[in-house]
Chain A
Amino acid sequence: EAEVAQSPRYKITEKSQAVAFWCDPISGHATLYWYRQILGQGPELLVQFQDESVVDDSQLPKDRFSAERLKGVDSTLKIQPAELGDSAMYLCASSRAWDTYEQYFGPGTRLTVT
């Protein structure tokens, strides 16, 4: 069964450092999402891509966060500089097409900022 791949699974970084996360969606899935999940909360959208284009980044803290999906396949989410409040699980999800509600999630990257 095809899965969404994410790396690294765990990342510990010091505040003010840069950190990057990678996501490879299920093959053929045109829509890709990055969510952030703080402990005790549900996932919240950071950015959504349709192919290589950003569809929604209204909740992305653009002063420190950036995301790209250059070839419309895999994607990278970057934080620079990291802050203590960025400690969370970063989840990548993909869906087959624009007319599909179901999203499939990767295992996530657990970020700890010290």
Chain B
Amino acid sequence: DQQVKQNSPSLSVQEGRISILNCDYTNSMFDYFLWYKKYPAEGPTFLISISSIKDKNEDGRFTVFLNKSAKHLSLHIVPSQPGDSAVYFCAASYNQAGTALIFGKGTTLSVSS
């Protein structure tokens, strides 16, 4: 059973608008969450992360929100740019740092100009 779920395989947004990518998890032991961006033929690139003791983390155009009670997190990109078009993976970790990440299946974001 998937512990990290990204239920929307794809999302299309116009340039300048907000992109919201969602992620749900089932394991309450997860204590750290990360978002990665992946372009075709490249490896995933770390984007932003959040500890379970926080409910928001912001870095420039990217903000991640965590709702522990709902076991849900979201990535907001404002404003969206065509260069943001990529596959976005939600990942989670538990027990301690240095353990393997558990990834969702990814959401393909397409930003049109």
Contacts and interface: CB of A to CB of B under 8 A. Distances in A.
B93 A101 contact: yes
Contact of A108 (B34, B42, B105): B42
Contacts of A99: 96-98
Interface stretch (A43-51, A61-69, A72-80): A43-51
Contacts of A50: 98
Q: Range of interface residues on chain A?
A: 20 to 34
Given A105-B45, A107-B42, A44 B97 contact: no
A4 B100 CA distance: 17
A109 B96 CA distance: 28
B104 A42 contact: yes
B25 interface: no
B80 interface: no
Interface string B88-113: 01010100111111011110000000
Given A42-B104, A107-B43, A110-B41, 5 more contacts: A41-B106, A99-B96, A101-B32, A107-B41, A108-B41
Interface residues of B, number: 24
A42 B98 contact: no
Interface string A23-62: 0000000010101000011111100101000011000000
Nearest to B104: A42
Interface string A86-114: 00000101010111111111111010000
Given A40-B105, A110-B41, A104 B98 contact: no
B32 to A, nearest CB: 5
A102 B49 contact: yes
A101 B49 contact: yes
A103 B92 CA distance: 12
